[in-house]
């Protein structure tokens, strides 16, 4: 089963997703961390999320790109609940890989559809190997003055989020700390 927890920043989606994982029928829990620590803010976020999960039985796997490989690091993956945090970081990481960073991925062009398909296929493949997967993702709005790279990222993330919504069995849209 695929569950998607989506919303803006600091809306409670991580805590909600963790509770979904704790409520899963699968007692073996893995947390796939896709964030690459690049500055003090991301280090603080990483440490805060580790503290939130402390004592809850999660085994953390730091996998910023090829998430489907996580199943090979798990004991009996088909009997596990996986919390993937988060698709927004995964999109950013992949769009900066050599294969993608020079490609045109403007909304509506071939590169855009290939990218969106590639990322959602990673989630689909992992979901086929594990019991439950809970995917956390963020939403961002375009704002005046954003650079081209940020606008490209938002377009790609919106495309991936749309496909994840279609792919998911359950979708929780977080607003003000509530689904």
Non-local (6+) Cβ contacts of 178 within 8 A are: 12
Handedness of CA 13, 14, 20, 23 (dihedral sign): negative
Architecture of 2-174 per CATH? 3-Layer(aba) Sandwich (3.40)
Strand, coil or helix: what is 171?
Answer: strand
Say yes or no to pLDDT of 88 above 90: yes
Range 28-34 average pLDDT: 95
DSSP string, 13-50: HHHHHHHHHHHSS--EEEEEE-PPP-SHHHHHHHHHHH
Query: Which one is predicted more confidently, 45 or 167?
Result: 167
Mean pLDDT score of the chain: 90
pLDDT tens per residue, range 134-154: 999 999 999 999 999 999 999
Every domain of the chain and the residues it spans: 2-174
pLDDT digits (tens, 9 = 90+) for 1-16: 999 999 988 788 988 9
Residue 48 pLDDT exceeds 90: no
**Position 71 pLDDT exceeds 90:** yes
Tell me: the pLDDT tens digits for 98-138? 888 777 777 778 889 999 999 999 999 999 999 999 999 99
What was the pLDDT predicted at 38? 75
- Model pTM score: 0.90
Please list the residues that pair with 81 across neighbouring strands.
29, 132
In whole angstroms, give the CA distance from residue 90 to residue 45.
16
């Amino acid at each position: 089963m695929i569950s998607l927890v989506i919303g803006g920043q600091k809306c409670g989606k991580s805590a909600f997703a963790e509770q979904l994982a704790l409520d899963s029928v699968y007692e073996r829990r893995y947390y796939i961390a896709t964030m690459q620590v690049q500055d003090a803010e991301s280090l603080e976020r990483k440490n805060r999320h580790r503290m939130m999960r402390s004592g809850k039985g999660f085994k953390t796997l730091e996998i910023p790109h090829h998430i489907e490989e996580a199943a090979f690091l798990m004991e009996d993956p088909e009997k596990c609940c996986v919390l993937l945090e988060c698709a927004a970081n995964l999109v950013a990481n992949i769009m900066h890989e050599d294969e993608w960073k020079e490609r045109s991925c403007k909304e509506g062009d071939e590169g855009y559809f290939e990218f969106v398909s590639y990322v959602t296929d990673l989630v689909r493949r992992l979901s086929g190997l594990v019991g439950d997967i809970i995917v956390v993702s963020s939403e961002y709005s375009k704002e005046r003055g954003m650079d081209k790279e940020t606008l490209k990222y938002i377009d790609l993330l919106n495309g991936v989020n749309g496909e994840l919504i279609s792919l998911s069995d359950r979708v929780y849209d977080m607003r003000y700390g509530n689904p």
